[in-house]
Amino acid sequence: MNYNLDPGPEAFDEFHDYWNQLLLARRADERPALGEGPVPLRQAFNPMKVRRQLPHVYIGEWISPDVVEVRLSGTALDAAVGHPLTGKNYLEYFPREDRPFYSAVFENIIKRPCGLKMMRTLTLSSDRRHQLRSLSFPLANKEGVPCYIVGMTNVVRDFHQGSLDGVEHPKSELHSINLIDIGAGVPQMPASLMPQQQAV
């Protein structure tokens, strides 16, 4: 089955706009004090409001520094890896040596909280290279505690279905990473955690 894995920049803008609408609505309800920054509730996120982006959308739940469990994965993303992502640990799709860095990034998204733009290249054992672009934001549980990450990803060069199956040691090159201030500032990432393998 064919999936368009490159939804285009307008789709990212629409996704960002929808999340901002949820943010403004939450803050209008909460009327936070200066310096406080509640984020949208997961239950307020309606996938049908981002129908165009839905095949590319994911929701992950921060369980621990070692586990970010995928709660929702769009059909295009499942097709890209060749199997359903829901229920999997998202960190397992990063090289083992880079996981502390990406774990710290995801933790910052929910603990600060802030948004994230990231672009990286994934090289498979077959030497096929695929550029991944993603945009992510925090969501809170019903108690108002941020613990979910909602985002969308496109694949600039299409995967063949099943191309990640059986790949034990993918290589990941980080091209760019930008944290987005949503009202609480953005943290500094420790240089010691930065992935060693950078794009040239």
Answer yes or no: is 154 within a domain.
yes
Answer yes or no: is 59 within a domain.
yes
Residue 120: its pLDDT value, please? Answer: 84
Answer yes or no: is 156 within a domain.
yes
Answer yes or no: is 152 within a domain.
yes
How many domains does the chain divide into? 1
Answer yes or no: is 3 within a domain.
no
Q: Report d(CA 63, CA 148) in Å as an integer.
A: 9
Residue 170: its pLDDT value, please? Answer: 63
Least confident of 19-33, 44-58, 118-132: 118-132
What is the arithmetic mean of pLDDT over 63-89? 91
Residue 2: its pLDDT value, please? Answer: 37
> What pTM value is reported for the model?
0.83
What are the structure tokens assigned to 103, written together? 């774990």
Answer yes or no: is 167 within a domain.
yes
Answer yes or no: is 1 within a domain.
no
Residues 80/1, Cβ–Cβ less than 8 Å: no
What is the arithmetic mean of pLDDT over 43-71? 95
Q: What residue ranges in 9-165 does DSSP mark as E strands?
A: 57-64, 67-73, 115-123, 129-140, 146-155
Answer yes or no: is 198 within a domain.
no
User: How does pLDDT run across 145-196, given as a tens digit for each residue?
Assistant: 999 999 999 876 544 444 455 555 567 788 888 999 998 888 877 665 666 5
User: How does pLDDT run across 4-26, given as a tens digit for each residue?
Assistant: 445 567 899 999 999 999 999 99
- CATH code for the domain in which residue 71 is found: 3.30.450.20
What pLDDT band is residue 126 in, cutting at 50, 70 and 90? low
Q: Which domain holds residue 140?
A: 9-29+38-182
